[in-house]
Structure 1
């Protein structure tokens, strides 16, 4: 099969969405900016280069953006020991490989965070390649991260899996099909409105549908140059 399965990591394979929302909340609070946790949750899935302006405005980005990202990293580091894989993550990776997908983990996380996640799910043994924020200049909803992952896969076709609307938006810009998993807290309607071709309650449900998803990816006409 000449198809990459491009898997988001944060919030999709490992349970980090609400940890990151809390870390961002604490980081903004340190610079005197109040951003409600619910608003932060809605932005999780964006990279940090996009998130500050998205939730707090361009002026906060100009005045405090780099400092907020630095503070977020420190807060997220403290929460790393609490992170666990979602049930079914390892089984999904194994099944995808057995199905014939070339598995690539498309994370915009910090390199040391990605290393930790790889340890949790045995990613180095189960994936062909992976990315981190160090590999791109712009993160989701820009498509650069998914494109970098796809290039590492070296396949003609690809399918993206993510937990947020930002994953779906990035895939749509590349013309590759995306499917959503509810693990990030986004609703079915939200994910489908942003282009998800299917939405699954958990990773086990997604794993059982891999055969159909392979056919879906093969039928797509991507925008890759």
Structure 2
């Protein structure tokens, strides 16, 4: 029996970057006259920038300053991206999934240059069937577009997303794709399950140890 394709979120799932993103969004908003507590910024990480500004600051702020804040965020994150590193077991998980016969697609809403930086960190290009980034679609998570684009890259077959946030779960659910979550994004087990995750693991290492119990191993 052919296993489902594996769609892998990258920020916060394979790469330890969520808290850098939260701090950068906090600073970007501050530079445009708005203070949003870092904890609230963190709770929105997993959304694409096209969705995050209005979610945190409202539609009026989005209309007036959304593009400027997103440009600020890009510049600020460029100063911190060198601090990000793969989580333990990130490349190993991709290798495990390939060994099970899965197609593997990186389902990222990051900027193209950031996605390529992460692919370099993971040395993942030889292992994956393709990837998405924020330029792949008009609307990023929690809209289903990125998940649907990743499924298309995987050949349109059944797929399962591995992610780290409630936004991953909501986007996948809207695309009729199941989600397995890792707690590396800083979200709790209960809220991930409530958002639609079929299973939650504390780490990529724990997921690797239990792949046989997931749709990838059955």
Unaligned ranges ≥5, structure 2: none
Aligned 1:63-212 pairs, distance under 5 A: 63-212=64-213
TM-score, length of structure 2 as denominator length: 0.97
- The answer as to whether partners of 1:99 and 1:210 remain within 8 angstroms in 2 is no
Q: Which residue of 2 aligns with 1:223?
A: none
- The answer as to whether partners of 1:46 and 1:166 remain within 8 angstroms in 2 is yes
* Residue 2 (structure 1) shift: 5.0
Give the aligned CA root-mean-square deviation in angstroms: 1.2
Find the aligned partners of 2:92 and 2:184 in 1 and give their Cα distance. 16
1:123 is paired with a residue whose SS is coil
Unaligned ranges ≥5, structure 1: 219-225
- The answer as to whether partners of 1:24 and 1:40 remain within 8 angstroms in 2 is yes
- The answer as to whether partners of 1:2 and 1:155 remain within 8 angstroms in 2 is no
Q: Which residue of 2 aligns with 1:40?
A: 41
- The answer as to whether partners of 2:96 and 2:208 remain within 8 angstroms in 1 is yes
TM-score, length of structure 1 as denominator length: 0.94
2:159 is paired with a residue whose SS is strand
1:172-205 deviations in whole A, cap 9, x for unaligned? 1122211110000000000000010000000011
Aligned 1:3-14 pairs, distance under 5 A: 3-14=4-15
- The answer as to whether partners of 1:96 and 1:207 remain within 8 angstroms in 2 is no
1:29-48 deviations in whole A, cap 9, x for unaligned? 11111111000000000000
**Residues matched between the structures, number:** 217
Find the aligned partners of 2:211 and 2:103 in 1 and give their Cα distance. 13
- The answer as to whether partners of 1:143 and 1:171 remain within 8 angstroms in 2 is yes
Q: Which residue of 1 aligns with 2:214?
A: 213
Find the aligned partners of 1:201 and 1:74 in 2 and give their Cα distance. 32
